[in-house]
Amino acid sequence: MIAVGGWSHNDPGPMQRRFSQMAASAINRVTFANSVVEFLRTYGFDGLDLDWEYPVVPGFPGHAYSDDDQPHFTALVHELRLTLGKQAEISFAAGGFTDYIERAIDWPAVCADISFINVMSYDLVHGYSTISGHHTPLYSTPQQRESADHAIRLLIEKGAPSHQIVIGAACYGRFFEMTSTSEVGLYQPCKFVGGFSHKNIQDVLSEANGYIHFWDDIACAPYAIHPEKRWLASFDNERSIALKTKYALQNQLGGIMFWQLYDDAFHGGLLDIIDKNK
């Protein structure tokens, strides 16, 4: 499949500003759908993944959005299905947070025309967060509502069939620096300072580098802290990925996906854990 859209790679405007504008016009939607058909036939692809971040709610700074995006997104997906036919796969990247699920998509209408919903159940604590937490937890905690399980339950409540929902896993982690004199850990005032790849985790988060590792039994998520630097690291590891894969199977979801392959280890990485537990 080919994916269209994304996050910051589309700034200062090409795609994220234009998604909202393109989908607002019936002529544009037809033109876009026809161009997709031509591309799929030319290169032998099986379908399209729409990565509009986001309709209706704020995304990357400067990206255009409005309440009208919701019906326009529905119309765009419907036009794609009519043009591509029943056999083509159509999926889209869905925000894994409450505001998006509540407002951005007409779930029953869209689910009638799509194959899968790729839920980005990561970056739930992100580069603009001011309170630390788990960026990709499986379950909610008393201090953090946003989680993969919360997103899946809310999607099903809104009318999305479980077999169309694909859970998200992260092959990367995020660092947060505490910005107050409070303890170094979860749910504290913070600022985002950077990310790291799972393939480098043994070195980056090593004991020799000053990190202490923890497991949250409620969130089913790992984290690590550096007391001297006052940093917290949030990430997925082998244990959390195995639990996410089993969760997808037990709840009869459409599957599990991850961002991104480049960040995984070349051998014995998180993708291998998914394979062993599928």
Assigned token pair, 157: 């409540």
Task: Write down the number of H helices and E strands in the chain.
Answer: 9, 11
Predicted local distance difference test score (pLDDT) of residue 271: 97
Q: Average pLDDT for residues 185-212, to the nearest whole number?
A: 97
Distances (CA, A) of 240 to 76, 192, 216, 244: 36, 22, 10, 6
User: Which tens digit of pLDDT belongs to each residue from 34-72?
Assistant: 999 999 999 999 999 999 999 999 998 888 899 999 999
Q: How confident is the model at residue 187 (pLDDT cuts 50, 70, 90)?
A: very high
Q: Which of 273, 268, 266 is nearest to 241 (CA)?
A: 273
User: Which tens digit of pLDDT belongs to each residue from 75-112?
Assistant: 999 999 999 999 999 999 999 999 999 999 999 999 99
Q: Does residue 223 have a pLDDT over 70? A: yes
What residues have CB less than 8 Å from 202, skipping those under 6 apart? none
Predicted local distance difference test score (pLDDT) of residue 232: 98
User: Which tens digit of pLDDT belongs to each residue from 106-165?
Assistant: 999 999 999 999 999 999 999 999 999 999 999 999 999 999 999 999 999 999 999 999
Rounded to whole angstroms, how far apart are CA atoms 59 and 80? 23
Q: Does residue 13 have a pLDDT over 70? A: no
* Residue 59 CB-density burial (10 A; 0-12 exposed, 13-18 middle, 19+ buried): buried
pTM of the predicted model as reported, rounded to 2 decimal places: 0.95
Give the long-range contacts of residues 8-15, CB within 8 A, separation 24 or more. Answer: 8/60, 10/60, 10/63, 11/60, 11/61, 11/62, 11/63, 12/62, 13/62
Q: Does residue 10 have a pLDDT over 90? A: no
Q: Does residue 16 have a pLDDT over 60? A: no
- Beginning with the edge strand found earlier in the chain, give each strand of the sheet holding 116-120 in spatial order: 2-6, 47-52, 89-95, 116-120, 165-170, 255-259
